[in-house]
Amino acid sequence: MSTAQTDAKPIGPASAGILMTPEEFDAITDYDDRYRYELIHGVLVVTPIPREAEAGPNDELGMMLRQYRREHPQGSALDDTLPERYIQTLDCRRRADRVIWAGLGRRPNPKKDVPTIVVEFVSRDKRDWERDDVEKRHEYLAVGVVESWIIDRFRRQMTVVRNQPEGPLELTIAEPDTYRTELLPGFELPLSRLLTVADDWPDSG
């Protein structure tokens, strides 16, 4: 990362709007960890860390996935899952709330293996919602993500976008419904379970 852009100081909220290349972004090592950073079309975007009503359901989903891998007869389909990971697109560095690798049959290499499933928890801010729900899905599909799960606690629904040869297929999962995918055979995701965790926090509104 060039010192001309940052004056050799750690990046933080004041760095929002800086222009940089993907290579400069990838080289960043000194930053304020109270914030999240993305590179979107050459511009550094700085946002607060996820609120509890987003982080709680994300943790719950991670627990459900790991339990599936340990206990379900077909759980080996899940290679691994991690929260808060970067996904490299052509000119962006998107930070996904959760990534899931499935079907590799081995430990994934995050630097080389595109996640099979990307999960986003919609944030309160309208601008963030538009970015999560519209822009990101197209970029994820373009790099080979098979499914995107967009969990919206405000609309009480989950949108699933499947990457198919004939074009993306979009499904809406309502709060009472349970989602299942062939990518994780036998795994069941009751959406109400995640929404209940979000509701336990005062800002879930």
Which helix (H) or strand (E) element contains residue 63?
Answer: helix 52-71
Domain contains 19: yes
| Average pLDDT rounded to a whole number, residues 83-93 | 88
Do 8 and 61 reside in the same domain of the chain?
no
Q: In terms of Cα–Cα distance, which of 47, 46, 39, 7 is closest to 20?
A: 39
- Do both 120 and 60 map to the same domain? yes
Report the C-alpha gap between 57 and 116 in whole angstroms: 20
Residue 137 is predicted with a pLDDT of: 79
Residues 90 and 170 occupy one common structural domain: yes
CATH number of the domain where residue 185 is located: 3.90.1570.10
Structure tokens at 186: 């036998």
The verdict on 118 and 155 lying in the same domain is yes
Q: Which of the two residues, 183 and 90, has the higher pLDDT score?
A: 183
Complete DSSP assignment for 81-94: EEEEEEEE-SS-EE
Query: Is 204 among the domain residues?
Result: no
Check residue 89 and give its pLDDT.
Answer: 83
CA angle 87, 91, 93 (to 5 degrees): 30
Residue 124's pLDDT is: 75
Residues 44 and 58 both lie in one domain: no
Q: What does residue 125 show for φ and ψ, rounded to 5 degrees?
A: -65, 135
| 34 and 96 both lie in a single domain | no
Q: For the chain, what is the domain count?
A: 2
44 shares its domain with 56: no
Residue 205 belongs to some domain of the structure: no
pLDDT > 80? residue 102: yes
**Which residue range is the domain that position 80 belongs to?**
52-199
Is 59 found in the same domain as 33?
no
**Mean pLDDT, residues 56-60 taken together:** 97
Shared-domain flag, residues 24 and 66: no
Give domain status of residue 104, yes or no.
yes
Residues 195 and 119 in one domain: yes
How many helices (H) and strands (E) would you count in the chain? 6, 10
117-121/35-40 β-pairing: unpaired
Give the DSSP letter string of 4-40.
HHHTTPPB-GGGTT-B--HHHHHT---B-TTEEEEEE
Name the percent of the chain lying above pLDDT 90: 59
